[in-house]
Structure formats: structure tokens, C-alpha cells
Amino acid sequence: MRQSRSLIVAKSQQIVGELGVFVKRPHRAGEILCIVRGPVRARPSRYSFCIGQGRHIEPTTTPSQPDFGRFTNHSCDPTAFARVAKDTLGVPYVEVVARKDLLAGDEVTFDYASLEYDVTVSGMKCQCGKASCRSIIHGFKDLPATIVRRYTIEGMIAQHLLVRQTDASGNKTASSARDSPSTSRPIP
């Protein structure tokens, strides 16, 4: 069983037959729950974490770092969010951060639409069971404006998506010019 001092992979409470990640001890809002590292690929996979246009981290396991990212489920009212960061060598990684205070046994979830412009599981029925469930798992491009606003206030939306949103409204930014345009989106 994959576990660390503070996290464990076990049967998901919200998705029948799937695994999920749970905290083994209480965590404060803003605390980093786990780090997702791995090679950066041009194409997404079911488990990858988007860190920019055409850039997706494929979670990998190391002896000191179980790949909790692979088992972190989507929720429309998540307990955590994903934040893109870089180490001192400039290597990107993702921090999964507690959105609110968590109790031992709480499942770690994040809203895929706060990190992914589109998702490989797009169109799949969401089973999060939250009152605010949007029924279908989708990416940022389909996230309702009211939720974009709420997540933005909470600092939950990845910077590369905010840049893209600015681009879409016609205001080109200097930072977006560094991203090479996506030539193909393999997502249906």
C-alpha cells in the first residue's frame, strides 16, 4: 500500500471501485499535502498534471515520493488544489495544497478544471456527490464564470490558465508569448 507519514492511498469514498488519497492526520489550509514530480510530456495522459500549454507532468514514484498525484481524484468542491512550482534548478513540479483545514481520513481531491484546460477524461460523469457537482468532468475551458471567479479569489486556478483566459479575451500578455502554440490537442 502506498503511504507516507501523512498520506495513504485507499479505496475512494466517492468513486466506487477507484482508489483515492487520504490524509492520515489533520492538515491546515494552505499546507502542502504532496508533491507531484515526473517527466514533462507534450501530450496529456489520464494521470498527468498540466503545467502549461502542451506541457504535462507524468507522475512518477521515487522511494521517498509515492505518486499520490496519480490517485488524487477530481471533485467539484475539492479539499485541495494544485499549484505549479519550480525547484532551484528550474525543474517544474506540482504542489497539492490543502484548500481548507482537513481532518484525519479526509480524501484529498482537486478540481481538474482548476489545472487542466481540457481533460483526457472529459465528458465522464462526475461522481463527487457534492451539492455543487457539475455532473460532467471537464476542463477550465468549460468552467462556469461564477466558479472561475470564486477559485480565482481563493488562488486555486493555475497561472497558465489565467494567462490563457487573458489571451482569449484578446489581451496578449508577455508571459504567454513564451509558450509555443499547441499544434495538436489529442483530447477528443
Site residues, Zn ion (CB under 5 A):
76, 126, 128, 133
CB of 179 to Zn ion, least distance (A): 29
Dist CA 184 CA 141 (whole Å) = 16
- Cα dihedral 8, 38, 60, 54 sign: positive
Measured in whole angstroms, the distance separating CA 181 from the mean position of its chain's CA atoms is: 22
CB of 132 to Zn ion, least distance (A): 8
Dist CA 97 CA 155 (whole Å) = 11
Dist CA 35 CA 85 (whole Å) = 10
Q: Which is nearer to Zn ion, 121 or 133 (CB)?
A: 133
CB of 134 to Zn ion, least distance (A): 6
Q: Which is nearer to Zn ion, 48 or 73 (CB)?
A: 73
Q: Which is nearer to Zn ion, 54 or 78 (CB)?
A: 78
Q: Which is nearer to Zn ion, 150 or 185 (CB)?
A: 150
Q: What is the DSSP letter of 134?
A: -
**Cα distance between the two ends of the chain:** 34
CB of 12 to Zn ion, least distance (A): 13
